[in-house]
Amino acid sequence: MRSMAIGSGKQFRGTGWLSVALLAAGVTALAVLLRRVGAESVLRSIERVGPNLVWVLVAPVIGMVLHCCGWLILLPKSLRPHPAMALAAYVASQAGDELGAGVAGEPLKALVFRPGLRSGSLVALALDNGTHIAATALLLAGAAFLPWGSTSLVSARTCAWAGATSFSLVALAVTFILVAPLRRWNAGSGRLARFMRLLDVARAALLLRPRLVLGSVLLHLAGKLWIVAEMALLLALLGLSPTLAPWLGAASVLASVAGAAIPGQMGAVEAAVFAACTALGVDAPSAMALVLLRRLRGGLWIALGLLLTRMVLAHGKAGADPVRQVRPVFHTPCV
C-alpha cells in the first residue's frame, strides 16, 4: 500500500501541469457560462437565499460524518482515532482528493496515526477506497432508472436498459473479486501485481467479514445520497421544486466521476448540473445561482480541509492516542 501511495504521488506531480491546464479551462468555461446567463440576474437569484446561506454551507457535514464512519468501521476498534480527529482527517483527505485527482489526500487518513501504527491501518484504508467505489457504482446504477420519472428526458426502455446494464456491471465486478484466480498475477511490484494483491485483500475481507464490508458500503452510499438532500435544500431556498433534487444529485455525482482529473471538478460539475437544471425546466439564472452556491460551499470545505491538514499531521507525529496492541480485523497481507 505504501508503494501504491508513493506511486500515485509521483504520478500526480508528473501531471501537475495538466491539472493546472484543466483547472484553467474549467474556470474559463464557468466564467463564459456566467457571462452568457448574465451576472446581474444570477445575483438577484442568489439574493433569495439570504441568511439561509449558512445552512447550505454547513449541510455537507452530515455526508462527511457518514463517509468517515464508513472508513472507521473497517479499522480495528483499538486503532480507531477519536471521532473528532477522524472527521478532521477525513475532511483534510477530501480536500487533498479534490485538488489532487482523487488520490493526493488519501495518505492523510494513514498519517493521523503515529508511525508505529500506520501499517495496521493500510488494509482498512485500501478496503475503504474499494467500498467507496462500490457505493458510487451502486448510486450511478440506481440513477440510471431516474428518467422513468420524466419520460420527456429519456424513454422508459432506454433507462431500463441503462439501469439493468449498470447493475449487471456492478454484479460482474463483485463476482470477479470473489472468484477470479488472482494468485498467479500477484508476484512482482508492477501496477498489475499491486492491483491484484489489492483485489485479494478485498476478496478476503468480503469472505471473512461480509457484514463489516457491507456496512461500509451502505454508509458510503448514504453519504453519497446526502447530496440529494443538499440539492433539495438549495432548490427550496431558491424557490424551486425540491423534487428535482434526485436528478441534479445524479448529474453532480456522474460529473464528479467523469471530471476526477480536474482539480475540484471545476467546470465539469457546474456544466452537468446546469444542463440538468435547464433540461428539467429551471430558468437559467436560478440554475446558475445553484451551481455557484454549490461551488462556494465546496470551496469553503476545501479551505477547511487544508487548514486541518497541519493539525492531522501534528497529531500523527505526536501519537496522542493511547492505543493497545492492535489485532487486525482482516488477517490479510498488506499490499
The pLDDT score that the predictor gives to residue 67 is 93
Q: How far is CA 69 from CA 48, 66, 98, in A?
A: 35, 5, 20
Q: What is the pLDDT of residues 33-49, one digit of tens each?
A: 888 888 888 899 898 89
Highest mean pLDDT among 26-35, 104-113, 289-298, 325-334: 289-298
User: In which band, very low, low, confident or very high, does the pLDDT at 260 lie, cut at 50, 70 and 90?
Assistant: confident
> Which comes out higher in pLDDT, residue 198 or 97?
97
pLDDT higher than threshold 90 for residue 226: yes
Query: Where do the domains of the chain lie?
Result: 2-318
User: In which band, very low, low, confident or very high, does the pLDDT at 290 lie, cut at 50, 70 and 90?
Assistant: very high
User: In which band, very low, low, confident or very high, does the pLDDT at 228 lie, cut at 50, 70 and 90?
Assistant: very high
- The stretch 101-116 carries a mean pLDDT of 67
The pLDDT score that the predictor gives to residue 4 is 40
In the chain, the amino acid numbered 269 is V
Range in 90-104, 247-261, 281-295 the model is least confident about: 90-104
